[in-house]
Amino acid sequence: MSANSMALKVVPQVKNQTYATQKNSQYNDQTSVFVDLSKRLNDAISNTPHFRAIGLRGSLKSACDEWQKKFNHITKFDDLNLVQTLTIPLSDILIDISLQRKLDLVWVIEILKKFREVQASPLQVYQVIDNKGKLGYYPKGKSLYASWDAQHTGIVYYIIAVWILKEDPSKVMVPVNIYPVSLKSEIRQNFVSTNSSDGKKLLEDIDLFQQMVYGVRLDGNKNPDWIDAERKQQFLEQADLFVTNAKFADTDQPGAISRMQEINHYSADIIRKFCVYAGGTIPIPRPIASQEIEILCKFFDIAKKDGIDYTDAEIVEIGNHLHMKFDSNFHESSPFWEKVRKAYENWWNDFYKDVPDDRRPSNSRVSKNWNTGGSFLWHQLHKTLPNIKLPRMPSGNFIPDTKDLY
């Protein structure tokens, strides 16, 4: 089957997979997956944690009530004074869930509450080739169309037409711009490049990363930056790690990386080193703390820039050593940071012992990031793992006393 195939594929669930493996499998389906607006909306609600879903349903109902009060003169969808362009039946619009980002119901509610007819955009669509009826959808108009952009607007149109005005979506005509493209690589490139205008639900770092991985694996995109992102995804999979975001409600799952700064900033080789450290030294029964990926990636990066390219064996040795010393627990409430805090306070008091109180800097509180944690880590390794070559000491004044280390 070609990378640009539009056929619907159902992937069977495999038992005993880790959460990370299940999460990462989304990138490996080489087909497009189409759903209609109704399923997209209902799935977004049903896949939300129970109490969160209750709140979202209440907010959606409230937004619908507000819309009815604001547009009490509208009795049918046709009464809306929308942009003049081509129109197709609402029921003929599909969402390619392997292209579009996860539906953000909070953004849907926001659009609905601030809805203005003159601002509502046409849906950006392309014609879908129904592979001998395998899609399971049948057009009421001339053809089926998949939205490559403005899915949130499409969902709002559906809510207005079906939920509020109680109309048959097959008889509701909505404005669209039809793009004469057939290659998924072209469609995805459009989606990424156009989501930066004011008034849109912009692509977050996680959305862009996912699009790059999908673009390489599904579309064969040759953009070097996209290929680099896909390589990082390979390494994450090999370590049973996955990138995510709070909006996906799984940042507490084992192997979750919710901090994208390092994934985006560092080269694929540095991400690989972190994956060797995280996946090759200890089991991953926990999400990855933001401080952990920040400190370790920075450490591996400054080492490489200083001419020290750690081997996998050396990385495993470092990881096992940290696990032995403090369970490799970098969470902000962990004993590690309490140890760092005490070391920092002792250093502070000693460093400024001859400086009058009124001339000392006002803030001696330790920051739980690379500046203090990285320096502590360097000195810890220097003390208790002397056989490992270290890069030059990180810049900064904080030098913990040997007695304050593990």
Q: Summarize pLDDT for 192-248 with one digit per residue, the tens.
A: 777 655 445 667 899 989 989 998 998 888 888 999 999 999 999 999 999 999 988
With respect to residue 176, please indicate whether it lies within any of the assigned structural domains.
Answer: yes
Dump pLDDT digits (tens) for 322-366: 999 999 999 989 999 999 999 999 998 888 888 888 888 776 678
Whether 296 maps to a domain, the answer reads yes
User: Does residue 64 sit within a domain?
Assistant: yes
pLDDT at 305: 95
Same domain, 167 and 36: yes
- Note whether 166 and 270 are same-domain residues: no
Q: How many domains does the chain have?
A: 2
**Residues 162 and 271 reside in one and the same domain:** no
**Do 69 and 171 sit in the same domain of this protein?**
yes
Provide the Cα torsion 10, 15, 21, 22; round to 10°. Answer: 40
State the average pLDDT over residues 394-406.
87
Is residue 315 situated within a structural domain?
A: yes
Pair of tokens at residue 197: 């205008």
Q: Which of 145, 180, 215 is the last residue of a domain?
A: 180
pTM of the model: 0.66
- Rounded distance, CA 380 to CA 402, Å? 8
Final residue before a domain boundary, out of 135, 162, 180: 180
Place of tokens 């003390």: 383
What is the model's pLDDT at position 283? Answer: 63
Q: Is residue 125 part of a domain?
A: yes
For 321, the domain range is 259-404
Q: Examine the pLDDT at 295 and tell me if it is beyond 90.
A: yes
User: Which of 237, 206, 260 shows the shortest CA–CA distance to 22?
Assistant: 237
Question: How high is the pLDDT of residue 185?
Answer: 77
Residue 20 lies in a domain: no
Q: What is the DSSP letter of 163?
A: I
Structural domain includes residue 13: no
Write out pLDDT tens, residues 11-25.
444 557 888 888 888
> Of 151, 180, 209, at which residue does a domain stop?
180
